[in-house]
Amino acid sequence: MSRNDWFEPSRPIRVEGGIRARSRRGSIGEQWWSRRFIDILERVCDRGRLSRGRSYARSGQVLDLEIAPGLVTARVQGSRRTPYKVGIEIAAYDADRWRALAGALAAQALYRAKLLAGEMPAEIEDVFHRCDLPLFPDERELDMDCSCPDWGFPCKHLSAVLYVLAEAFDDDPFLVLAWRGMGKDALLGALRETGGGEEPAPARPGLFDVTDTPFTERMADFYEPGASPARLRDRTALPVAPPDLLLRTLDPPPLTARKIPILDLLRPAYQAFAESDDA
């Protein structure tokens, strides 16, 4: 085997049906979580290989991508006939750690509500840090491997997979958590069960609450009110708003009449309208 066989020519074999990055120019990653991931990579990885990796990602050279707890695997088509195998490992948290994380997330009503609605709150990273468990891997934790002969860190094939992974995070932020060991359905189930440790407030009977009774048993008194007229009249008095409240809240127009500001002329009129209403 000649020495040149260890180095791949610059042009990869074009493929059909690969995973093609949506971003055609500039940075890859639209949401805060994918940008956070990319920022870490671009801070620690070789910029030249990352640039070539973006070109690979945009041309669809990544053939497939699988995300499992602690491991991302992919195949990337280079210039050789056999695609290269890529693996990216991080620490996946065990059940006890995820139990603590789910409890910490559920304790924050806003975070819990956003996650149950399918959103990723930006403060979730702080919750992970308070549990001494990072959400995103740093350069020391990432264990990356590619079957190509390039010893650079990372090679262009790894870089392409990292960028495609970032766009997968764009589409589904729960993949970030699945990589750490907790799938979306399992996490949402844990959040529903935990409920933030809050007891539901006891239900208070409403003014118009009535017992549901079949119509055939209510024909005689169907049109009678469910509450007495006395209860309907018993209402707490609302505070009286000043008649010129609207004038106070709006910006004064730059108008005068005989050098008198227009608001000073309108206030007596509003007061007169209020008094005539009360009469």
- For residue 44, tell me if it sits in a domain: yes
**Of 97 and 212, the one with more pLDDT:** 97
Give the tokens for residue 88.
Answer: 């990216």
Lowest mean pLDDT among 1-15, 76-90, 126-140, 262-276: 1-15
- For residue 156, tell me if it sits in a domain: yes
Residues 32-83 have pLDDT tens digits of 888 888 888 788 777 778 888 899 999 999 999 999 999 999 999 998 999 9
Q: Are residues 53 and 122 in the same domain?
A: yes
Alpha-carbon separation of residue 177 from 69, 121, 134, 247, 277 (angstroms): 9, 13, 11, 53, 62
String of b and e for 83-117 (b: at least 16 CB within 10 Å)? bbebebbbbbbeeebbeebbebbbebeebbebbee
Q: How far apart are CA 240 and CA 140, in angstroms?
A: 65
- For residue 131, tell me if it sits in a domain: yes
**Listed residues 139, 168, 196: the one ending a domain:** 196
Alpha-carbon separation of residue 23 from 26, 59, 125, 170, 202 (angstroms): 7, 11, 25, 11, 51
Whether pLDDT at 218 is above 80: no
Whether pLDDT at 244 is above 60: yes
Count of structural domains within the chain: 2
Domain membership of residue 250 as a residue range: 244-273
Residues 132-172 have pLDDT tens digits of 999 998 878 889 999 998 877 788 999 999 999 999 998 89
- For residue 208, tell me if it sits in a domain: no
Q: Are residues 80 and 156 in the same domain?
A: yes
Q: Are residues 158 and 264 in the same domain?
A: no
The whole-chain average pLDDT of the chain stands at: 79
Query: How far does the chain reach from its first CA to its final CA, in angstroms?
Result: 107
Whether pLDDT at 226 is above 60: no
Reference 177, options 114, 104, 102, 107; nearest CA is 102
Q: Are residues 30 and 159 in the same domain?
A: yes
- For residue 53, tell me if it sits in a domain: yes
Q: Are residues 269 and 156 in the same domain?
A: no
Q: Are residues 120 and 249 in the same domain?
A: no
Q: Is 154 exposed, middle or buried (0-12, 13-18, 19+ CB in 10 A)?
A: buried
Whether pLDDT at 216 is above 70: no
**Listed residues 167, 196, 225: the one ending a domain:** 196
- Residues recorded for the chain: 279
String of b and e for 57-75 (b: at least 16 CB within 10 Å)? bbbbbbeebebeeeebbbb
Q: Are residues 144 and 19 in the same domain?
A: yes
Q: Which residues contact 166 (CB under 8 A, 6 or more apart)?
A: 28, 29, 34, 37, 38
Q: Are residues 158 and 257 in the same domain?
A: no
Q: Are residues 183 and 263 in the same domain?
A: no
Alpha-carbon separation of residue 149 from 7, 9, 53, 71, 159 (angstroms): 7, 12, 16, 21, 15
Q: Are residues 144 and 269 in the same domain?
A: no
Q: Are residues 47 and 111 in the same domain?
A: yes
Q: How far apart are CA 140 and CA 278, in angstroms?
A: 76
- For residue 233, tell me if it sits in a domain: no
Q: How far apart are CA 134 and CA 113, in angstroms?
A: 22
Q: Which residues contact 40 (CB under 8 A, 6 or more apart)?
A: 136, 137, 138, 139
**Listed residues 177, 196, 215: the one ending a domain:** 196
- For residue 52, tell me if it sits in a domain: yes
Q: Are residues 248 and 124 in the same domain?
A: no
**Of 225 and 191, the one with more pLDDT:** 191
Q: How far apart are CA 37 and CA 42, in angstroms?
A: 9
- For residue 206, tell me if it sits in a domain: no
